[in-house]
Every structure is written in structure tokens, then in C-alpha cells.
């Protein structure tokens, strides 16, 4: 057997391990089930490797595994009305008696903490409490939320700010101007967010017992991103950032439930349109007019429509539309009869659609969905529509365009091949680097020196100030010396004239 680099990397991932099973804690307090789908993949992977894992969530887990200990802290899912509310929402579980019992039990010792990251900086105190390295799991591409932890260079000229907004063309002046202004305004907001996080940190992790808030940021060993450079967000990464986009996607899809398979089998040659707006927002929470327009656009098409819907009143009934409370998205998109995905452009859904080569019609609702939808259209994987101005006839035209114009499915399938072409799959990559951090007790040798610089030092303001002072002193010295010399010469000339 010829040992290629790909085979060698695979063998390393399988056989290079830690000396003994490690104790790992996962803390995932986002109220979005879609976030937990990604976070839990790391837990499942580490359990398969024989590690002892405890996981804390604020949402119930569908696929419970008896091999790990699950602490469920029930929390009502609410619509996020401000960024500051988002912080308060994620602070609440840390005050829960069950979580406090976990923290205060002297028998609980952990070698690694994996934190589901969504602006919850104060959660870094968990790593400080257990005196162990921290790994951040982020469900999207990198942005300057994580940059400051691992020292990623901010490239404002061509990296979209926050990966939440996509300028019309990042390389043109208007795009760079927009990106610069968004980045500048975010820095201002970020300052206040950090102050609020610091307040929450001081309350939950009192300074008499814990290191300063800023010091905990230096405990971050690794950031795992649910992205991949092929999906359009090209930017430099330091070694402590690892892209594992698509980690939630099965290497081999599971068989579909019998009722779904029956519907799909009956769809004949026209195929299936899959409609879902994710797991965080219920369809009944969306503007009723938007749901009505979607129904009008899809009713009567020759394609079968599978629409993820909750118990609320349906927008209408049509022979070709089937409403289902739950749909196995990854397995469904893997089915060759699914021809189109109508989506809110959540990162997880876009990744799964790209992986399986299914074109999209994207109707973003908020946050990074706007940027994701823009990328879908920019790269030719489908079309983006505005939820606020969407009319039934506009959606129907877009659906037919993507279904009937082969360029979209061709682009999507080309990208699918590109996205899958890696030395190791996402799961094996994540396992290797998580265990790398364990083997090397935090692997802090991967940290960028930028982590240990404050903003004043990073921007070289001290160096610039010093050089300005030196230039000023040299200028003053030359000026004073010149004036003194000219004064002496002038005095001598005056004496000569008098004689």
C-alpha cells in the first residue's frame, strides 16, 4: 500500500492520542438549537475517542448519548432584541444551582473546556475556575469577535467585517469604504460589550478568587470555525484557528423516515423543493405575509414541496405541499430528488446545501444570514431575496429560474466537489486538534504574540509616540543649534563690521 500524505494524516488522526482519557467539559448556552447541532459534534467525536465528557446545554438534546454526562439547564427561548440582552441571556445559566454544583464540587476536574461562543466572553471564567485550556466553538466564519483571542490580523481592506455584512464588492472602493465604516462602528459597540462582559465576569467570577477578565483571554488555546476557505471568506489565520466547516454533516446519510421516503418516491421526475427557516425561529414567528407569499408562490408547482412547520395554523393547503414538524435536513439534502432549498441562509443550512450540491433561494432574516445569502448569489449557488419586499410572483419567478436554469445546480455541484476535497474530513480534523491541545497542555506555543499585546501596543501607538518624540527632539535640537550657530556667526560678523 502506498502511504500518501492524505493516508498519513488520516492515520495520525486515528492513532495519535493522549496518554489516557481526558476529562472534557462542554458549555453551550445558546438558545439556538442549530448552534448546538455543531457544538455537540465535537462532544460526540471526543466520546468516540474514549474521553470522559460532561456537556451543559440550555436546550434539550435530541440524540442523547449515554456515554457522556448531560446537564440540562432549561431556559426559555426568546427573540433576541439587543446584543446586550444576548449577554444577559447567556449569563443566566451560570447562576443556575445545577451549574453552581458542577463548579463547586471539588471532585470535578477538567483538562479542557469547550465553550460555544456567541459574544459570551465572560464564560472564559469557567476555564479559569478549572485552571485548564479553553477551546471556542464558533458556528460561522471567523470575525473580529474571536480575532482578539488568538491574534488573527484584522484585514479590513478585504475581509468583511464580522462576516455579518457583505459589501457589494469588497475589492472596490465603495465596498471597502462600507466595510471600514462597519468595522469602525463595531469597534465602538465592541468596547461597550466588553465592559458589560467584564461586569458580568466580575459578578459571576469575583476578583478575590479569579484572575482579571483580560487575563482569561490568554487561556484560549484554539478556535474551531464552522467554515472553510472554499466558501468565500478568504482571510489569514494564525495556527490557533482551525476551519472544520461541515462538521455536522454525516459522511453517509441515514435512511429517511418511511413517511418522507414515500412522499419523495411519489414526486416523480419533477423532484422536491425543501423549505425551512431553521430551528431558532418558528415559522409562526415569521411575518404572516411572508409565509402567505411563500405558499402562493409554491402552490400548484409540479414539484413536491416539503415545508418545515410547527403546530401553528398553516398558510394554506395545496396538493403538492406537505407540512412536517421535523425534517432531517442533512439526510434530506443528500437525497438526489431534492432539487431546491428555500432557506433563511443560516450558516449550517447553507453549508449542508453546498456540501450536497443543492441550489438555493435565500431569504435572510437577521445576523449573518444577510452575508450568507449574499455569498450564495455572488458565487452562483442560487438567488437572494429581500424578506421585507418579497412578493409571491417574485419568489415564484426566482424558484423557476433556479430550477430551470442549469447554471445554478452546475455551480452548486462544482462547489460540492471542491468543498469535500480535503486531506482529512471535518470530524477527524477537529479531533486531531482538540487532542493536540490536550497532549501539549494547552498548546500555548501556537498563540500569536499579538495575544499578549494591548490595543495601544498592537497599534504601535507607543512606538509611533516614541518616534514622534524623537523626531520632535531632533527637530528642536537642530533648530536650537542652528539658531545658536547663526547667532554666534551673526555676532562675529557684527564685530568685524565695527572694526
Tens digit of pLDDT for each residue in 106-145? 999 999 999 999 889 999 999 999 999 999 998 877 777 7
Q: How far apart are CA 198 and CA 214, in angstroms?
A: 9
Grade residue 163 by pLDDT with cuts at 50, 70 and 90.
low
More confident call, 55 vs 87: 55
User: pLDDT value at position 242?
Assistant: 93
In three-state secondary structure terms, 376 is: helix
Q: Which CATH superfamily is domain 258-420 in?
A: Glycogen Phosphorylase B; (3.40.50.2000)
The pairing of beta strand 304-308 with beta strand 272-276: parallel
Q: How far apart are CA 309 and CA 323, in angstroms?
A: 6
User: Cβ neighbours of residue 334 under 8 Å, at least 6 residues apart?
Assistant: 250, 253, 356
Q: How far apart are CA 321 and CA 324, in angstroms?
A: 10
Q: Do 258-420 and 5-247+425-452 fall under one CATH topology?
A: yes
Average pLDDT over residues 304-329: 88
- Nine-digit cell string for 220: 484560549
Residue at grid coordinates 509611533 = 464
What's the distance, CA 369 to chain centroid? 11
Q: How far apart are CA 56 and CA 24, in angstroms?
A: 11
Phi, psi of 484 (to 5 degrees): -65, -45
Q: What is the pLDDT of residues 396-441, one digit of tens each?
A: 999 999 999 999 999 999 999 999 999 999 999 999 999 999 999 9
H helices of 49-158, in order, are 83-91, 97-104, 124-130, 144-150
Q: What is the pLDDT of residues 195-240, one digit of tens each?
A: 999 999 999 999 999 999 989 988 999 999 988 888 777 788 889 9
pLDDT of 83 above 70: no
Q: Which of 80-84, 112-116, 206-210, 313-317 has the lowest mean pLDDT?
A: 80-84
Residues written for the chain: 499
Q: How far apart are CA 349 and CA 329, in angstroms?
A: 8
Grade residue 273 by pLDDT with cuts at 50, 70 and 90.
very high
List Cα–Cα distances, 132 to 53, 116, 120, 444, in angstroms: 14, 16, 18, 12
> How high does pLDDT run on average in the chain?
86
Show me where the domains of the chain are located: 5-247+425-452, 258-420, 459-489
pLDDT of 174 above 90: no
Q: How far apart are CA 405 and CA 103, in angstroms?
A: 57
User: pLDDT value at position 247?
Assistant: 92
Q: What is the pLDDT of residues 375-404, one digit of tens each?
A: 888 889 999 988 888 898 999 999 999 999
The domain made up of 5-247+425-452 has a fold known as: Rossmann fold (3.40.50)
Q: Which of 51-55, 146-150, 482-486 has the lowest mean pLDDT?
A: 146-150
- Nine-digit cell string for 178: 462600507
Amino acid at each position: 500500500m502506498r502511504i500518501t500524505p492524505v493516508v498519513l494524516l488520516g492515520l495520525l488522526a486515528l492513532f495519535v492520542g493522549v496518554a489516557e482519557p481526558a476529562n472534557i467539559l462542554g458549555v453551550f448556552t445558546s438558545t439556538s438549537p442549530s448552534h448546538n447541532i455543531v457544538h455537540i459534534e465535537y462532544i460526540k467525536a471526543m466520546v468516540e475517542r474514549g474521553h470522559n465528557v460532561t456537556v451543559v446545554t440550555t436546550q434539550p438534546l435530541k440524540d442523547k448519548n449515554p456515554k457522556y454526562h448531560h446537564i440540562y439547564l432549561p431556559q426559555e427561548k426568546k427573540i433576541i432584541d439587543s446584543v446586550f440582552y444576548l449577554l444577559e441571556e447567556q449569563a443566566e445559566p451560570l447562576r443556575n444551582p445545577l451549574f453552581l454544583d458542577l463548579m463547586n464540587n471539588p471532585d470535578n476536574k477538567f483538562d479542557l473546556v469547550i465553550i460555544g461562543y456567541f459574544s459570551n466572553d465572560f464564560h472564559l471564567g469557567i476555564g479559569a475556575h478549572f485552571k485548564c485550556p479553553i477551546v471556542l466553538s464558533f458556528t460561522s466564519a471567523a470575525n473580529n469577535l474571536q480575532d482578539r483571542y488568538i491574534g488573527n490580523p484584522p484585514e479590513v481592506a478585504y475581509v468583511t467585517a464580522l462576516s455579518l455584512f457583505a459589501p457589494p464588492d469588497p475589492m472596490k472602493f465603495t465596498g471597502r469604504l462600507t466595510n471600514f465604516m462597519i468595522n469602525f462602528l463595531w469597534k465602538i459597540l465592541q468596547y461597550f460589550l466588553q465592559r458589560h462582559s467584564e461586569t458580568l465576569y466580575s459578578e459571576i467570577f469575583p476578583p478575590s478568587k479569579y484572575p482579571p477578565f483580560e487575563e482569561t483571554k490568554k487561556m484560549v488555546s484554539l478556535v474551531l470555525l464552522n467554515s472553510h476557505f472554499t466558501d468565500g471568506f478568504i482571510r489569514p489565520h494564525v495556527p490557533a484557528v482551525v476551519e472544520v466547516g461541515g462538521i455536522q454533516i454525516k459522511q453517509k446519510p441515514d435512511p429517511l423516515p418511511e413517511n418522507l421516503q414515500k412522499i419523495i418516491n411519489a414526486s416523480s421526475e419533477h423532484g422536491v423543493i425543501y423549505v425551512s427557516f431553521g430551528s431558532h425561529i418558528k415559522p409562526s414567528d415569521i411575518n404572516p405575509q411572508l409565509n402567505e407569499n411563500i405558499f402562493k408562490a409554491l402552490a400548484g408547482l409540479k414539484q413536491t414541496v416539503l415545508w418545515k412547520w410547527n403546530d401553528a395554523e398553516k398558510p394554506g393547503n395545496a396538493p403538492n405541499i406537505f407540512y412536517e414538524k421535523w425534517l432531517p435536513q442533512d439526510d434530506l439534502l443528500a437525497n438526489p430528488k431534492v432539487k431546491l432549498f428555500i432557506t433563511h441562509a443560516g450558516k449550517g443550512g447553507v453549508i449542508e446545501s453546498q456540501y450536497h450540491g443543492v441550489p438555493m433561494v435565500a431569504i435572510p432574516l437577521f445576523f449573518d444570514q444577510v452575508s450568507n445569502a449574499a455569498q450564495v448569489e455572488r458565487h452562483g449557488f442560487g438567488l437572494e431575496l429581500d424578506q421585507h419586499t418579497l412578493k409571491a410572483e417574485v419568489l415564484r419567478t426566482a424558484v423557476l429560474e433556479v430550477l430551470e436554469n442549469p447554471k445554478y445546480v452546475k455551480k452548486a455541484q462544482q462547489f460540492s466537489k471542491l468543498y469535500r476535497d480535503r486531506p482529512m474530513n471535518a470530524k477527524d480534523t477537529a479531533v486531531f486538534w482538540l487532542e493536540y491541545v490536550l497532549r501539549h497542555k494547552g498548546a500555548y506555543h501556537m498563540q500569536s504574540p499579538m495575544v499578549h499585546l494591548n490595543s495601544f501596543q498592537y497599534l504601535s501607538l507607543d512606538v509611533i509616540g516614541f518616534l514622534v518624540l524623537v523626531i520632535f527632539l531632533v527637530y528642536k535640537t537642530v533648530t536650537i543649534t542652528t539658531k545658536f550657530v547663526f547667532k554666534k556667526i551673526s555676532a562675529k560678523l557684527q564685530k568685524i563690521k565695527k572694526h
